[in-house]
């Protein structure tokens, strides 16, 4: 059991029983495929195909746009219909490559060929991961090849596999652990081969006893890999909370996990590393959980990237009735949707649909200063004070209250008896602070440029 429980957190109804026993089903889309150039943290990818080109499954169709970026790989074979802006889950119109799926799924040469990672150098493995387009599949979307190249490789002594899956309703990582445990273990070995001083810990919440049993059986003879059961509490899967629970080390917003000697990846990311390095399969699909009381047949699906959300919902039998609310991601941190005409991206994890009686419509009232949000905050912040700064758009006070340390987990909003949208306010304030900082940096750079020209 993790010996460093973090402060705060909540215990929401998890709803996992709807899909946790449903085996992962392969989905073969029939419609148009849309590949946004921004599916990751960092610079957008740059298209390297043109309208009319025929592409193959596994072919790189966009290259990384910078050091912190990731290429985009076609998940089907077909013809490039257009390159145009398309709506994405975040609400932005993003440059996207639109491909007409010919449903032949013709692959590039070498796709699926077995490869022995022990014969590869560190640079070769990192390059394979980069060219495969792999990013963090737990939601953040940070390019994995960059994460595998910290400044001081020898200081990384712990590799944490984030198998907590603490968001309610989500079961894709759980099914991954049950169905492809050997791929997961092999993926961990690939990563550990890059860090000579590291040991692996598979961190699983104790509400998943079957996954714990399966993986403990697989690692019983492994010297450098162990299973670490963690107390079930949201947001146990938060990167900072996981690092503290597993190692006792603290990380803040100005640090990377590598600064604490830790590397963190989620289950599906590690499996994708294995498939890229050992099976010559780039990132062309991911697992999505489709669930909620408004879904006809909740389940888990291997979904080719670029698939339309509606096709994924249809694969689950559609809706029992018109849902009151649809969410991409988990109910605590996910994005509400107003349309299903959206492409599945690398950081898509689930589609949730709820009937009216599952959606809170209680009115927002005045803060009563009860302090529940303070007790629930896993970052030890003062949400009630931060909200006052947010309402006044006082960015200086918000920063002084350490508002930029907020991980946007939603715990404060969840426990608030006044139903105040605390987390939403903090997201907006963080965007405002970052915009002000960028403006100041741009002004300073322009001033320096003008000054340099005069001299």
pLDDT digits (tens, 9 = 90+) for 264-300: 999 999 999 999 999 999 999 999 999 999 999 999 9
Q: What is the pLDDT of residue 455?
A: 46
Domain extent listing, the chain: 16-279, 285-358, 372-454
- pLDDT reported for residue 239: 95
Options 3.30.530.20, 3.20.20.70, 3.40.50.11540, 3.40.50.2300; CATH of 16-279: 3.40.50.11540
Prediction pTM value:
0.95
CATH code at 285-358? 3.10.20.600
What pLDDT does 452 receive?
62
Judge whether residue 173 has pLDDT over 70.
yes
Residue 326 has pLDDT above 60, yes or no: yes
pLDDT in tens, 310-319: 999 999 999 9
pLDDT digits (tens, 9 = 90+) for 349-402: 999 999 999 998 899 999 999 999 999 999 999 999 999 999 999 999 999 999
Is 116 exposed, middle or buried (CB count within 10 Å of its CB: 0-12, 13-18, 19+)? exposed
On average, the pLDDT of the chain sits at 95
What confidence score (pLDDT) does residue 140 get?
Answer: 77
- As to burial, measured by CB atoms within 10 angstroms (0-12 exposed, 13-18 middle, 19+ buried), residue 68 is middle
User: In a 3-state reduction of DSSP, which class is residue 301?
Assistant: strand
- Please report how many Cα atoms fall inside a 13 Å half-sphere around the Cα of residue 92, on the Cβ side: 8
pLDDT of residue 5: 86
Cα angle value 303/306/309 (rounded, 5°) = 70
% the chain with pLDDT above 70: 98
Tell me which of 1 and 236 has the higher pLDDT: 236
**Residue 88: pLDDT over 60:** yes
């Amino acid at each position: 059991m993790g010996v460093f429980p973090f402060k705060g957190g909540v215990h929401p109804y998890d709803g996992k029983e709807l899909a946790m026993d449903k085996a992962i089903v392969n989905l073969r889309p029939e419609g148009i495929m849309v590949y946004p150039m921004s599916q990751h943290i960092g610079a957008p990818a740059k298209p390297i195909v043109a309208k009319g080109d025929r592409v193959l499954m596994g072919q790189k169709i966009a290259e990384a746009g910078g050091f912190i970026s990731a290429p985009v790989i076609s998940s089907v074979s077909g013809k490039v219909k257009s390159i145009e802006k398309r709506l994405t889950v975040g609400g932005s119109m993003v440059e996207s490559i639109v491909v007409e799926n010919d449903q032949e799924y013709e692959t590039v040469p070498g796709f699926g060929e077995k490869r022995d990672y022990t014969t590869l150098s560190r640079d070769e493995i990192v390059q394979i991961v980069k060219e495969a387009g792999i990013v963090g599949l737990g939601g953040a979307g940070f390019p994995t090849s960059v994460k595998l190249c910290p400044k001081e490789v020898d200081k990384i002594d712990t590799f944490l596999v984030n198998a907590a899956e603490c968001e309610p309703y989500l079961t894709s990582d759980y099914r991954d652990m049950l169905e492809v445990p050997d791929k997961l273990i092999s993926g961990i070995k690939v990563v550990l081969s890059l860090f000579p001083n590291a040991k692996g810990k598979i961190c699983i919440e104790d509400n998943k006893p079957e996954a714990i049993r399966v993986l403990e059986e697989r690692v019983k003879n492994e010297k450098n890999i162990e299973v670490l059961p963690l107390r079930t509490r949201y947001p146990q899967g938060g990167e900072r909370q996981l690092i503290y629970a597993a190692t006792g080390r603290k990380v803040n917003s100005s640090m990377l996990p590598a600064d604490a000697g830790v590397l963190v990846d989620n289950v599906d990311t590690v499996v994708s590393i294995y498939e890229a390095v050992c099976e010559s399969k780039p990132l062309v699909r991911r697992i999505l959980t489709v669930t909620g009381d408004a879904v006809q047949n909740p389940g888990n699906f291997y979904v080719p990237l670029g698939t339309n959300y509606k096709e994924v919902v249809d694969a689950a039998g559609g809706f029992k009735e018109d849902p009151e609310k649809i969410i991409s991601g988990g109910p605590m941190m996910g994005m509400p949707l107003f349309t299903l005409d959206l492409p599945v991206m690398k950081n898509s994890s689930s589609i949730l649909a709820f009937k009216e009686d599952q959606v809170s419509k209680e009115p927002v009232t005045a803060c009563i200063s009860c302090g529940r949000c303070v007790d629930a905050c896993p970052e030890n912040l003062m949400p009630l004070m931060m909200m006052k700064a947010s309402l006044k758009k006082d960015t200086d006070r918000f920063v002084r209250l350490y508002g930029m340390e907020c991980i946007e987990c939603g715990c404060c909003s969840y426990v608030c008896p006044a139903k105040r949208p605390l987390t939403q306010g903090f997201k907006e304030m963080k965007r405002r602070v970052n915009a002000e900082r960028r403006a100041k940096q741009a002004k300073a750079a322009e001033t320096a440029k003008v000054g340099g020209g005069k001299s």
